[in-house]
C-alpha cells in the first residue's frame, strides 16, 4: 500500500536520525569467502567433479556412460531438452521413450530429465541453471534423476566468479547435490521434492555454447 | 515457588521432547564448526566483515530501501509495503482475490510465521499448504515450529508416523525414508494445483533487485515451477548492498545452519519467468514488511536486525537445549529470539521480558554468530529495560541487601568476616524459597571469605620489600 510506503520510509529516517557515525561499507577482498584449503588449480572439470561427488552428485563424462547408468536402473522414460536432442538422442536405443516437451499432467511418468546447465562451480560442486538456458523448470526438477549438461569452458572457478558472471536472467539457480532433508530426527534423506539423483554430464567441446536468447 | 515462564516450560518439558531437542541441537556441531573454521584463511574476519556489511546496510536503510524498490520495479516485480502484520496479510489476500486464486503452496518463511499468515488465510477460505517437510508436519499437527531451521526438532519419527496415519497418508511406518517418500507423493500434486507460490527471502540485493532464496529440499523451487504467481514476504532488514557480497553471506549461511558449503537450492530471483519458459510464475509480488523492525532500528538493540536466521545460536545455547523452542512462546526461539521476540512484541514486552533473563551470558551464541551479533550485550540491555520499566520478575530473590553490602566497603569487610557463620548454619533449613531451589541440586563450598584480601595484603608487602 502506498501509504504504508511513506510511513515505513519516514519511520526508517526517524530511526536513523539519532545515529551520528554510520558504519561504512567495509571494503574486502573477494577471496575472503573462497575456500582456501582445497586447490582450485588445474582442470576445472576435475576440481568440480571432486566437489560434486562430495555433495553426492554423480559426474559423467560421456553420453554412453549416462545411457548405461539410466538403463541399469530401468529409467527408460524421460524428458530431454529439445536443443540437446540432436546430440544425445542417437545414444538412446529403442528401449527408451524420450520426450521433448514436459507434460505436467504426467509428472510422474518421467524418470529422468536432461537439461542444459548454464555453468557449474568448481569450488562448491554446484550446477548453474537459468530460465533462458534451461528449457523446463519442471523437467529439471520433478523426475527422480536430473542430468545437467555442461561444457568444460562453462565451469567457474569459484562462487565470486559465478556471481560476477551471473546473467541478467530472472531465475538463476545453483544446485549443489540432490534435493534433501534431515527434518526427521536429523537423518539425511535424498529426493524429498526434487531429484534423488543429481548427475552432471560433461558435453563434448564442440557443442555450441548456450547463448541467452532475447525474449 | 514462583518462577519465570521459561523456567516453568523447561521444568515441565516431557523427557522425550527434552532428549529430542538436546540431541537435535547438539548433533552436527563439529561439522558446522569445522566447515566454518577450517576452510578459510581468516574465518573470523569473514564473519566480522559480514557483520559490518549488514550493520552498514541497516544504518543506511533510508538509501537502500528506495534503491532496491526501484530495481525490483524495473525488473517487473510488483512491490508492496506493509507497516504491520495486518497490512501484510491483507496485501496477500488482496493479490489472491484480484487473481481469483484460492490455493497457495508455501515454502518455509519466518516472516510469514511472524505475521501468522496461514491461520488468517484459512479463515478467508484459502488453502495455504506448507511444503517444507518439517513445516508440513507442524501444519498437520496444528503445532508450532520450535527451531528456525529444524522446525520439528522436538518430534520423533513415531509421532510423525502416527500423524501421517491419522491424515490418511498411509499405514503406520516410522522409517524416515517412508515418511519422506509419502510427503513427496502427496505434495507434488499440490504444487501443480496451487495458483500461488509463497516464499520468504534470505537476502535482497540492493544493487540488482535480485532476491535470494535457499532450501535444501527444493520445495521453494517446486513452488516456483508449478504455480503462476509468486508472492514473497520479506522483512526490510534482509537487504545486502552488492551482488559481490553474496558469496560471503551464502557461504556463512549454509555452513552456520547445517555445515554445508552451500545450501542445495540457492535461487536468485529477479522477476517473472522469461518468455518461452513453460513453467513458473509470470507474475511476481514482493511485500516489504516493517512490523516493528523500524522500532528495533531506533533502539539500542538494532544489531539484532543483522540476523540471517541460520539457527546457530540456538543450537549451541545451553538454555535452548534444555528448555526447547516452545519455551520462548514466540516465533523466534533461542538467543536470537530472546532479543528479537520481546522487541517485536511491542506493548506486550513485559510478557516476554523473562526471555533475556534466561541466560548465563556464557557467550556461546556470540562466538558462533556468522554476523557477529553481540547477543549477550543485547540481552543485558533488555534486562535493563525491563528493570527500568518495572516489569515484575517472579522467582528472582530480592537483591536490595546485596546491593547495599556491595556498595559500602566497610559493610562488605564486616560481612566477609561474619560470613564464617555460614559454615555452621544448616542451609537446607533456611526458609528462603530461592535459596532452597538453588540448593536443590547444589552444595555450597566452605566459606573462605576474606582469604584473598589477606593474601593481597601480604603479597603487596612482599612486593614492596623487593623493590
With a cut of 60, say whether residue A1 has pLDDT above it.
Answer: no
Residue B296 pLDDT: 97
Residue A214 pLDDT: 43
Sign of CA dihedral B222, B226, B230, B233: negative
pLDDT in tens, B49-101: 999 999 999 999 999 999 999 999 999 999 999 999 999 999 999 999 999 99
Buried b (16+ CB within 10 A) or exposed e, B28-60: beeebbebbeebbeebeebbebbbbbbbbbbbb
- What average pLDDT does this structure show over B199-204? 98
- What average pLDDT does this structure show over A179-183? 95
- Specify burial of residue B221 (Cβ count, 10 A radius: 0-12, 13-18, 19+): buried
DSSP character at residue B105 = E
Q: CB–CB of A192 and B23 under 8 A?
A: no
Phi, psi at residue B70, to the nearest 5°? -60, -45
Residue B127 pLDDT: 97
- Tell me which architecture the domain covering B40-291 has in CATH: 3-Layer(aba) Sandwich (3.40)
Give residues with Cβ within 8 angstroms of A50, minimum separation 6: A38, A125
With a cut of 60, say whether residue B263 has pLDDT above it.
Answer: yes
- What average pLDDT does this structure show over A9-17? 97
Please name the residue of chain A whose CA is at the shortest distance from the CA of residue B156. Answer: A185
Report the C-alpha gap between B155 and B134 in whole angstroms: 10
- What average pLDDT does this structure show over A169-187? 96
> For residue B164, which residues of chain A lie inside 8 Å, CB to CB?
none
Give residues with Cβ within 8 angstroms of A205, minimum separation 6: A151, A152, A153
Compare B110 and B425 and report the one with higher pLDDT.
B110
Q: Which of residues 17-36 of B touch A (CB under 8 A)?
A: 20, 23-24, 27-28
Percent of chain A scored above 90 by pLDDT?
85
Long-range (24+ apart) CB contacts under 8 A made by A68-71 are A69/A199, A70/A96, A70/A111, A70/A112, A70/A145, A71/A95
Q: Please give the interface size between A and B, counted as residue pairs whose CB atoms are below 8 Å apart.
A: 275
Report the C-alpha gap between A139 and B215 in whole angstroms: 19
* Helix ranges, B15-81 (H): 15-26, 29-37, 43-59, 61-74
Give residues with Cβ within 8 angstroms of B244, minimum separation 6: A30, A160, A163, A164
Residue A163 pLDDT: 97
- Name the pLDDT band for B1 (thresholds 50, 70, 90): low
With a cut of 50, say whether residue B17 has pLDDT above it.
Answer: yes
Percent of chain B scored above 70 by pLDDT?
99
> Who among A136, A160, A195 is closest to B247 (CB)?
A160
* Helix ranges, B168-286 (H): 176-193, 219-226, 246-258
Comparing C-alpha atoms, which of B273, B274, B285, B270 is closest to residue B98?
B285
Please determine, looking at this structure, whether the domain spanning A41-203 carries the CATH number 3.40.50.10420.
yes
Helix (H) or strand (E) holding B119: helix B117-123
Residue B465 pLDDT: 61
Residue extents of the structural domains in chain A: 41-203
- What average pLDDT does this structure show over B270-280? 94
Residue A215 pLDDT: 39
Residue B425 pLDDT: 79
Helix (H) or strand (E) holding B453: helix B451-466
With a cut of 90, say whether residue B210 has pLDDT above it.
Answer: yes
- What average pLDDT does this structure show over B278-293? 97
Q: Give strand pairing partners of A202.
A: A150
Buried b (16+ CB within 10 A) or exposed e, A140-155: bbbbbbbbbbbbeebb
Instruction: Determine which of A44-48, A66-70, B459-463 has the lowest per-residue pLDDT on average.
Output: B459-463
Q: CB–CB of B265 and A170 under 8 A?
A: no
> Who among A34, A166, A184 is closest to B268 (CB)?
A166
Cα-Cα end-to-end distance for chain B: 57
Q: What is the ipTM of this complex?
A: 0.95
Report the C-alpha gap between B405 and B400 in whole angstroms: 9
How far off is chain B from A168, nearest CA to CA, in Å? 9
Residue A37 pLDDT: 78
Instruction: Determine which of B1-5, B11-15, B185-189, B258-262 has the lowest per-residue pLDDT on average.
Output: B1-5
Comparing C-alpha atoms, which of B69, B162, B74, B151 is closest to residue B106?
B151
Residue extents of the structural domains in chain B: 1-34+312-396, 40-291, 411-462
Residue A82 pLDDT: 94
Query: Is there a contact between A197 and A178 (Cβ–Cβ < 8 Å)?
Result: yes
A208 CB neighbour count, 10 Å cutoff: 9
Residue A40 pLDDT: 87
Q: CB–CB of A104 and B151 under 8 A?
A: no
> For residue B160, which residues of chain A lie inside 8 Å, CB to CB?
184
- Name the pLDDT band for B307 (thresholds 50, 70, 90): very high
Mean pLDDT, chain B, rounded, equals 93
Q: CB–CB of A192 and B65 under 8 A?
A: no
- Name the pLDDT band for B447 (thresholds 50, 70, 90): confident
Report the C-alpha gap between B76 and B74 in whole angstroms: 5
Query: Is there a contact between B461 and B455 (Cβ–Cβ < 8 Å)?
Result: no
pLDDT in tens, B362-399: 999 999 999 999 999 999 999 999 999 999 888 777 78
Q: Which of residues 177-206 of B touch A (CB under 8 A)?
A: 177, 179-181, 183-184, 187-188, 191-192
Report the C-alpha gap between B95 and A114 in whole angstroms: 35
- What average pLDDT does this structure show over B168-187? 96
Sign of CA dihedral B453, B457, B459, B460: positive
Q: Compute the C-alpha angle B299/B252/A60, nearest 5°.
A: 155
Q: CB–CB of B176 and A2 under 8 A?
A: no
Query: Are β-strands A112-116 and A97-99 bridged in parallel, bridged antiparallel, or unpaired?
Result: unpaired
> For residue B218, which residues of chain A lie inside 8 Å, CB to CB?
141, 179, 192-195
With a cut of 80, say whether residue B440 has pLDDT above it.
Answer: no
Query: What is the 3 state secondary structure string of chain A?
Result: CHHHHHHHHHHHHHHHCCCCCCCCCCCCCHHHHCCCCCCCCCCHHHHHHHHHHHCCCEEECCHHHHHHHHHHCCCCEEEECHHHHHHHHHHCCCCCEEECCCCHHHHHHCCEEEEECCEEECCCCEEEEECCCCCCCCCCCCCCEEEEEEEHHHEECCHHHHHHCCCCCCEEEEECCCCEECCCCCCCEECCCCCCEEEEEEECCCCCCCCCCCC
With a cut of 60, say whether residue B103 has pLDDT above it.
Answer: yes
Give residues with Cβ within 8 angstroms of B51, minimum separation 6: B306, B369, B371, B372, B373
Residue B297 pLDDT: 97
Residue B233 pLDDT: 98
Residue B460 pLDDT: 86
Q: Between the CA of residue B260 and those of B33, B217, B266, what are the distances in Å?
A: 11, 13, 12
pLDDT in tens, A182-205: 999 999 999 999 999 999 999 988
- What average pLDDT does this structure show over A39-46? 92
With a cut of 60, say whether residue A213 has pLDDT above it.
Answer: no
Amino acid at each position: 500500500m502506498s501509504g504504508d510506503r511513506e510511513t515505513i520510509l519516514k519511520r526508517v529516517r526517524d530511526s536513523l536520525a539519532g545515529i551520528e557515525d554510520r558504519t561504512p561499507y567495509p571494503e574486502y577482498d573477494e577471496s575472503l569467502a573462497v575456500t582456501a584449503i582445497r586447490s582450485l588449480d588445474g582442470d576445472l572439470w576435475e576440481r568440480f567433479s571432486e566437489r560434486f561427488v562430495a555433495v553426492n552428485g554423480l559426474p559423467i563424462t560421456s553420453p554412453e556412460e549416462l545411457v548405461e547408468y539410466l538403463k541399469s536402473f530401468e529409467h527408460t522414460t524421460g524428458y530431454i531438452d529439445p536443443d540437446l536432442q540432436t546430440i544425445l538422442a542417437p545414444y538412446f536405443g529403442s528401449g527408451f521413450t524420450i520426450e521433448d516437451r514436459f507434460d505436467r499432467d504426467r509428472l510422474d511418468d518421467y524418470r529422468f530429465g536432461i537439461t542444459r546447465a548454464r555453468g557449474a562451480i568448481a569450488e562448491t560442486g554446484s550446477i548453474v541453471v537459468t530460465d533462458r538456458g534451461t528449457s523446463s523448470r519442471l523437467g529439471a526438477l520433478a523426475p527422480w534423476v536430473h542430468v545437467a549438461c555442461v561444457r568444460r569452458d562453462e565451469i567457474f572457478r569459484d562462487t565470486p566468479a559465478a556471481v560476477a558472471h551471473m546473467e541478467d536472467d530472472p531465475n538463476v539457480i545453483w544446485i549443489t547435490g540432490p534435493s534433501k532433508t534431515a527434518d526427521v530426527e536429523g537423518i539425511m534423506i535424498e529426493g524429498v521434492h526434487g531429484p534423488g539423483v543429481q548427475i552432471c554430464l560433461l558435453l563434448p567441446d564442440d557443442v555450441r555454447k548456450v547463448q541467452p536468447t532475447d525474449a | 515457588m514462583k518462577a519465570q515462564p521459561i523456567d516453568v516450560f523447561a521444568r515441565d518439558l516431557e523427557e522425550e521432547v527434552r532428549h529430542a531437542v538436546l540431541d537435535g541441537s547438539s548433533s552436527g556441531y563439529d561439522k558446522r564448526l569445522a566447515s566454518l573454521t577450517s576452510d578459510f584463511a581468516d574465518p573470523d574476519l569473514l564473519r566480522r566483515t559480514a557483520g559490518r556489511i549488514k550493520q552498514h546496510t541497516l544504518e543506511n536503510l533510508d538509501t537502500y530501501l528506495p534503491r532496491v524498490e526501484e530495481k525490483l520495479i524495473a525488473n517487473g516485480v510488483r512491490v508492496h509495503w506493509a507497516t504491520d502484520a495486518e497490512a501484510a496479510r491483507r496485501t496477500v489476500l488482496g493479490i489472491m482475490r484480484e487473481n481469483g486464486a484460492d490455493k497457495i503452496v508455501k515454502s518455509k518463511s519466518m516472516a510469514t510465521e511472524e505475521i501468522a499468515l496461514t491461520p488468517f488465510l484459512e479463515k478467508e477460505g484459502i488453502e495455504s499448504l506448507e511444503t517444507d517437510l518439517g513445516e508440513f508436519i507442524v501444519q498437520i499437527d496444528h503445532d508450532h515450529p520450535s527451531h528456525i531451521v529444524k522446525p520439528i526438532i522436538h518430534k520423533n519419527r513415531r509421532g510423525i508416523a502416527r500423524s501421517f496415519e491419522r491424515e490418511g497418508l498411509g499405514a503406520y511406518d516410522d522409517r524416515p525414508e517412508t515418511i519422506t517418500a509419502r510427503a513427496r507423493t502427496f505434495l507434488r500434486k499440490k504444487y501443480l494445483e496451487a495458483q500461488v507460490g509463497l516464499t520468504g527471502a534470505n537476502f535482497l540485493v540492493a544493487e540488482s533487485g535480485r532476491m535470494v532464496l535457499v532450501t535444501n529440499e527444493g520445495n521453494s523451487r517446486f513452488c516456483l515451477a508449478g504455480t503462476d504467481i509468486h508472492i514473497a514476504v520479506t522483512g526490510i532488514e534482509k537487504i545486502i548492498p552488492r551482488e559481490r557480497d553474496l558469496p560471503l553471506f551464502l557461504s556463512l549461511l549454509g555452513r552456520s545452519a547445517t555445515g554445508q558449503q552451500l545450501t542445495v537450492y540457492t535461487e536468485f530471483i529477479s522477476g517473472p519467468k522469461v518468455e518461452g519458459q513453460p513453467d513458473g510464475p509470470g507474475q511476481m509480488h514482493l511485500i516489504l514488511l516493517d512490523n516493528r523492525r523500524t522500532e528495533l532500528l531506533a533502539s539500542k538493540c538494532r544489531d539484532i536486525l543483522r540476523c540471517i536466521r541460520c539457527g546457530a545460536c540456538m543450537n549451541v545455547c545451553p538454555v535452548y537445549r534444555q528448555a526447547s523452542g516452545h519455551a520462548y512462546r514466540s516465533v523466534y526461539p533461542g538467543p536470537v529470539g530472546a532479543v528479537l521476540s520481546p522487541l517485536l512484541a511491542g506493548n506486550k514486552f513485559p510478557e516476554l521480558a523473562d526471555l533475556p533473563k534466561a541466560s548465563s551470558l556464557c557467550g556461546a551464541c556470540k562466538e558462533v554468530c556468522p554476523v557477529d551479533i553481540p547477543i549477550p550485550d543485547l540481552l543485558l540491555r533488555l534486562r535493563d529495560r525491563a528493570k527500568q520499566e518495572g516489569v515484575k520478575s517472579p522467582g528472582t530473590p530480592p537483591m536490595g541487601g546485596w546491593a547495599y553490602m556491595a556498595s559500602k566497603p566497610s559493610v562488605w569487610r564486616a560481612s566477609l568476616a561474619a560470613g564464617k557463620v555460614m559454615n555452621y548454619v544448616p542451609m537446607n533449613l533456611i526458609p528462603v524459597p530461592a535459596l532452597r531451589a538453588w540448593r536443590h541440586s547444589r552444595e555450597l563450598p566452605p566459606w573462605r571469605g576474606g582469604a584473598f584480601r589477606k593474601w593481597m595484603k601480604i603479597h603487596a608487602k612482599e612486593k614492596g620489600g623487593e623493590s
